[in-house]
Amino acid sequence: MLRGMIQHILILGAGTAGLLAALTLKMKLPHLKVEVLRSPDIGVIGVGEGTNITFPVHMFEYLGVSKERFYSLVDPTWKLGIRFLWGSRPDFFYPFATEFSGRFPEVTRANATYLGEKDRWIGPISALMAHDKAFPRNANGRPEMHDYTAFHLENRRLVGGLEVLCREAGVEVTDGTLSRAERGSEGIAALNLTDSRRVKADLYVDASGFRSELMGQAMAEPFISFSRSLYCDRAVVGGWKRKPGETILPYTLAETMEAGWAWRIDHEDLINRGYVYSSPFLSDDDARAEFLRKNPRVDPETTRVVKFVSGRRARAWVGNCVCIGNAGGFVEPLEATAIQVICQQSATLTKGLAECQCQPSDAMRSLYNRFVSKDWDDIRDFLSIHYRFNTRLDNPFWRACRSDVDLGGALEMTEFWKAHGPSAIPNGLLIWAGSSFGLEGYFSLLKGQDVPVSKPYQPTAAEKTAWRRRLDGYGSMARNACSAEEAIAAFRVMA
């Protein structure tokens, strides 16, 4: 074996991050020995249920996992985007499609230019969302499946399904709990387990969640806080059983609350809610009381508070240690980005290892670190505009957000918007070309929150007529479309 060649990868932690990383590495680099250490004593976090489009693209297109197999293991529901109860409009939608930044051929500017104050949708996917529908109905009366959808997944069911897929791919999943990591010249020398075993590998992946056992504790890699942009640091979570016949919403709801916001995620049998809040502005007891007032169907006995810190490790790959998932960074789930980052990091690590024939250099590690840092910082910047421009409530928390939230790398983009509105400048000039949200994300949030434009474009009469005809057409399609319940039934028959 060549010195420095990686043949054996040991992943600490069998949550979403550890298993997704293992599956990706083993499926793409099958010659490697990939081992996951699963603790029988320490559980998984048990939250993390919304994805964005990166997840299905990673699973089905990049890894080639069969959709039918995945659906049968995990029972996901569909998520077409996010419905925000945010800003001055009653609501607005951020669809997983090119709608705000797209341009209909009959008009001259990006579609976001033409969205009126009372318009609830701007294209076919947001029209479906506005009608609580998941798929258009085809000529046979059945759902016309489309790919503009991510998933809602129950965390424990996802973890169980990923473990099955990992074992089928040849990943070794073994029980063990870390007691102490030994440091060595390369980074980590060995892991000592509570059952007295001492295990070694060529590359260690820290997927131990918030404990960050290897990168945070053993390697002491500094943590870069996002607290200047993101003030929330806790969530109270709970849910209730869905009644038969109750609509399954095909989107995540994000609702403004007194000191943060609340999600609603619909599964087939459960509806989950969580209130993400800022503890300097609201006590746990008051957050729980507000949460229960808004959600009287939640059983108070089932609620729990989860604490978190927003930020990332300075470097994600140091020596022979890589961190992934909550062990490497965390931001609140306002755009459901944690699983997205896990997919992007797993794929980038895998591609990097393939390129360097599993003999990584400092240059490879440095490039990887640059990518991961930019990815996290891009997410922080995008989330900051949700807080800086939300005018819905006037209280100490939201006033502080509107005056003090640091927009970071989003500042230039928002200044441009205020001057010129939704100009179809090429993606990559004002925002990072690798941004997961792109112009679509920025336009959705800036238009949805009605961030003022100093000299807005005035559409011509012909444009106004064409616009109305478009929206009316999408509205008719959506009124006649299929609900998530109908689609689940049809999908099961097809499978």
Ligand X SMILES: Cc1cc2nc3c(=O)[nH]c(=O)nc-3n(C[C@H](O)[C@H](O)[C@H](O)COP(=O)(O)OP(=O)(O)OC[C@H]3O[C@@H](n4cnc5c(N)ncnc54)[C@H](O)[C@@H]3O)c2cc1C
Q: Per-residue contact track with ligand X, 39 to 78, x per CB under 6 A?
A: x--xxxx-xxxxx---------------------------
Determine contact, residues 210/61, Cβ cutoff 8 Å. no
- Which one of residues 161, 209, 250, 319 is an interface residue with ligand X (CB under 6 A)? 209
Pick out residues in 121-160 that bind ligand X (CB under 6 A): 155
User: Across-strand partners of 272?
Assistant: 239, 265
Interface with ligand X, residue 316, by CB under 6 A: no
Contacts with 61 (C-beta within 8 Å, 6 or more apart), sequence order: none
Q: Please report, as residue ranges, which positions from 22 to 41 form the binding site for ligand X (by CB under 6 A).
A: 37, 39
Q: Is 232 in the site for ligand X (CB under 6 A)?
A: no
Cα 191 to Cα 56: distance, rounded to the nearest angstrom: 34
State which of residues 109, 211, 374, 464 lies at the interface with ligand X (CB under 6 A): 211
Task: Assess 427 for contact with ligand X (CB under 6 A).
Answer: no
Beta strands in 258-302 (DSSP E): 260-266, 270-277
- Residue 89: phi and psi, rounded to 5, are -70, 155
Our CB check for ligand X shows the closer of 12 and 122 to be 12
The least CB distance from residue 467 to ligand X, in Å, is 34
Strands 33-38 and 172-175: parallel
CB 93 within 8 A of CB 126: yes
311, 333, 421, 422: which one binds ligand X (CB under 6 A): 333
Residue from 311, 324, 306, 312 nearest 214 by CA? 324
DSSP 95-138: ESSS-SS---TTSSS-GGGG--TT---SSHHHHHHHTT--B-B-
Which residue, 20 or 112, is less far from ligand X as judged by CB?
A: 20
Number of residues that bind ligand X (CB under 6 A): 38
Residue number with the smallest Cβ distance to ligand X: 15
* Six token digits for residue 109: 């500017």
User: Are the C-beta atoms of 115 and 122 separated by less than 8 Å?
Assistant: yes
Binding positions for ligand X, 256-275, rule CB under 6 A: 274
Determine the Cα–Cα distance for residues 92 and 101; give it in Å rounded to an integer.
Answer: 15
SS3 content of the chain, % helix, strand, coil (to 5): 40, 20, 40
Quick one: 340 or 435, whose CB is closer to ligand X?
A: 340
Among 135, 231, 308, 317, binds ligand X (CB under 6 A): 308
Which stretch, 9-17, 62-70, 285-293, 430-438, contacts ligand X (CB under 6 A)? 9-17
Which one of residues 98, 177, 217, 391 is an interface residue with ligand X (CB under 6 A)? Answer: 177
Stretch in the footprint of ligand X (CB under 6 A) among 6-14, 241-249, 414-422, 472-480: 6-14
User: Which residues contact ligand X by CB under 6 A?
Assistant: 12-18, 37, 39, 42-45, 47-51, 155, 177-178, 207-209, 211, 213, 235, 237, 274, 306, 308, 325-327, 333, 336, 338-339
